[in-house]
């Protein structure tokens, strides 16, 4: 039998899955789960116990999966979020400096400002829009962090923790 994961106690003492090993932890030691049939009372027969680490991985996957802004999907990996934040800071300075709504040359007087969306097309943005874009990206990340926290605060994290019902749209 090849399961591809194992159960062990995590740092908080709860039982959790470990994808790096193919062993089942009993009270005393690891037992190779490939050495025979699955025990009838194995934790593998009961509901899966989801760890906080698994929730963090799902949260991070969703953070990196993109952010919708004004009906358009934008990339939101770590470097993308840094770029969005930097552009929002520059745009805010431009607004404070007098950039007007509709002015697409707020960043460079020789070129309209545009952001490349996930579909690889240019989306023109004035400074006010870029500030709101930065705000939306930061808010999305924050919402996902708090949704993950709410899951981890539950007495038992649901097995279907990756379902959209647990996460903000």
Instruction: Specify the pLDDT at position 3.
Output: 37
User: Per-residue pLDDT for 18 more than 60?
Assistant: no
Over range 34-62, report the average pLDDT: 72
Segments making up each domain of the chain, as ranges = 6-48, 56-166
Q: What is the rounded CA–CA span in Å between residue 79 and residue 82?
A: 5
Instruction: Specify the pLDDT at position 45.
Output: 60
Instruction: Specify the pLDDT at position 113.
Output: 98
Lowest-pLDDT range of 15-29, 51-65, 126-140, 148-162: 15-29
44 falls in which pLDDT band (50, 70, 90)? low
Torsion angle (degrees, nearest 10) of CA 128, 147, 58, 88: 10
Q: For a pLDDT cut of 90, what percent of the chain falls above it?
A: 70
For residues 126-138, b (16+ Cβ closer than 10 Å) or e, as one string? bbbbbbbbbebbe
Biggest CA–CA distance in the chain, Å, is 73
Instruction: Specify the pLDDT at position 10.
Output: 42
Sequence length of the chain is 169
Convert the pLDDT of each residue in 66-103 to its tens digit.
Answer: 999 999 999 999 999 999 999 999 999 999 999 999 99
Q: Which residues pair with 9 in a beta bridge?
A: 15
């Amino acid at each position: 039998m090849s399961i591809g994961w194992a159960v062990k106690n995590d740092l908080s003492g709860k039982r959790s899955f470990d994808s790096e090993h193919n062993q089942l932890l009993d009270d005393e030691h690891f037992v190779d789960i490939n050495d025979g049939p699955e025990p009838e009372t194995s934790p593998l027969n009961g509901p899966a116990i989801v760890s906080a680490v698994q929730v963090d991985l799902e949260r991070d996957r969703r953070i990196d999966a993109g952010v919708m802004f004004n009906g358009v999907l934008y990339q939101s990996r770590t470097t993308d979020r840094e770029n969005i934040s930097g552009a929002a800071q520059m745009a805010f300075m431009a607004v404070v400096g007098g950039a007007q709504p509709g002015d697409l040359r707020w960043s460079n007087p020789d070129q309209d400002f545009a952001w490349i969306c996930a579909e690889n097309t240019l989306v023109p943005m004035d400074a006010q829009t870029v500030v709101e874009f930065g705000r939306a990206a930061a808010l999305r990340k924050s919402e996902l962090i708090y949704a993950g926290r709410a899951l981890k605060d539950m007495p038992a994290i649901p097995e279907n923790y990756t379902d959209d019902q647990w996460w903000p749209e």
